[in-house]
Amino acid sequence: MDEHKENIHGQEDNVKTSSKPSSRLCPAGESAPQVSPSQSKGDFSHPVYKEIALANGHINRMTKEELRIKLAELKLDTRGVKDVMKKRLKSHYKKQKLMQTAAEGGPTDTYYDYICVVDFEATCEEDNPSDFLHEIIEFPMVLINTHTLEIVDTFQEYVKPELNPQLSDFCVKLTGITQKMVEEADPFPVVLQRVVSWLQERELGTKYKYAILTDGSWDMSKFLNIQCRVSRIKYPPFAKKWINIRKSYGNFYKVPRTQTKLSTMLEKLGLTYEGRPHSGLDDSRNIARIAVRMLQDGCQLRVNERMHGGQLLSVPSSAPVEGAPPPHNPRSRD
């Protein structure tokens, strides 16, 4: 539902910035890295950063062919445009230096144990009226282990819509979700309860630190927000903060917002879409592939958006890192 979401909610990119601090988390099974107050405020006085800066300058002067040869020597992925290859080589060197200094008590950059990708499919019309209420009809999740950099698990359930039980022909054609699929599905509160159970079984938020990741702001700020009102349940706390991969991708690879659509991100990374476009689970898998590639390239994926008081807010990079809380069963608004 990538391009359709773009058409519906393109105006939501102007979000407010939140500077409210939150607690720092460390990976499960590891002690928290010792970070001085000056480091936590962005002080890069540690000698390792001078070495990294010198290496970056050398990499910036390399040709595309020189980058490809060097990446091949290091047994790294050689796919992607020149800027992506430069970022990959810089990040590899930075990661190696930080791993070395972390062993010596220096800075490190590990945030979460797992990242959970979510990409809803929702009811829609070809020309949605301004007051159209989109209801979630597919709830997929794809789980990434950030230590092995692998997709390790998936969840998928269809959802029976309440306000508009009859799917439009446009919606069926776009998503591949048939009327029979949603008629045989359970309502959203029941599906959400199964999602919570799935997360709890994997000990996310208790034993392991995790974060939700989405392709844009719409899934949480619009679709889930609307659905919770329609279903008369409270917005789930575990979904109040998330990683917007479009923002992360644009900031990491230094590209404009126009180059952060799902298809474009895949293309720039030298990847091709796998599966059926606008299938929630297939979209989630492909978003996860982008996230894995970004982690391999050295990107520090971290929460950058949140919901507060029904409003979409931006979480600044200066805010301490925070994982999602333990998931709990949905609560009624009544």
Higher pLDDT, 52 or 146: 146
How far is the CA of 119 from the CAs of 64, 177, 277, 293, in angstroms? 34, 14, 12, 18
- Could you give the residue numbers annotated as active site? 121, 278
Share of the chain above pLDDT 90, in %: 64
Mean pLDDT across the stretch 177-194? 98
Higher pLDDT, 51 or 288: 288
Mean pLDDT across the stretch 157-172? 97
Q: What is the pLDDT of residue 5?
A: 64
Answer whether residue 124 shows pLDDT above 90.
yes
Domain boundaries, the chain: 49-101, 112-314
Q: What is the pLDDT of residue 130?
A: 84
Buried b (16+ CB within 10 A) or exposed e, 5-35: beebbeeeeebeebeeeeeebbbbeeeebee
Mean pLDDT across the stretch 280-300? 95
| Tokens (6 digits) for 192 | 């959400």
pLDDT digits (tens, 9 = 90+) for 312-327: 999 998 888 889 999 9
Q: What is the pLDDT of residue 2?
A: 61
Answer whether residue 26 shows pLDDT above 50.
no
Q: What is the spatial distance between Cα 161 and Cα 189, in angstroms, rounded to a whole number?
A: 11
Nearest to 139 by CA among 189, 202, 184: 189
Answer whether residue 42 shows pLDDT above 50.
no
Amino acid identity at 282: D
Contacts of 194 by beta carbon, 8 Å cutoff, 6+ apart: 157
Contacts of 92 by beta carbon, 8 Å cutoff, 6+ apart: 74, 76, 297, 298
Partnered with residue 116 across adjacent β-strands are 143, 212
Q: What is the pLDDT of residue 4?
A: 61
Q: What is the pLDDT of residue 131?
A: 87
Mean pLDDT across the stretch 149-159? 97
pLDDT digits (tens, 9 = 90+) for 197-248: 999 999 999 999 999 999 999 999 999 999 999 999 999 999 999 999 999 9
Q: What pLDDT band is residue 98 in, cutting at 50, 70 and 90? A: low
Helix (H) or strand (E) holding 294: helix 280-296
Looking at 3.40.190.80, 1.10.720.30, 1.10.3720.10, 2.60.40.3140, the CATH number of the domain 49-101 comes to: 1.10.720.30
Mean pLDDT across the stretch 147-161? 97
Q: Hey, which of 121-130, 177-186, 255-264, 307-316 has the most confident mean pLDDT?
A: 177-186
Higher pLDDT, 50 or 110: 50
pTM for the model: 0.76
| Tokens (6 digits) for 285 | 């898998």
Q: What is the pLDDT of residue 53?
A: 84
pLDDT digits (tens, 9 = 90+) for 7-19: 554 444 444 444 4
Q: Say what the alpha-carbon torsion angle 20, 145, 257, 214 is, to the nearest 10 degrees.
A: -70
CATH number of 112-314: 3.30.420.10
Helix (H) or strand (E) holding 211: strand 210-214
Mean pLDDT across the stretch 4-31? 44
Mean pLDDT across the stretch 288-300? 93
| Tokens (6 digits) for 140 | 């997929």
Answer whether residue 181 shows pLDDT above 80.
yes
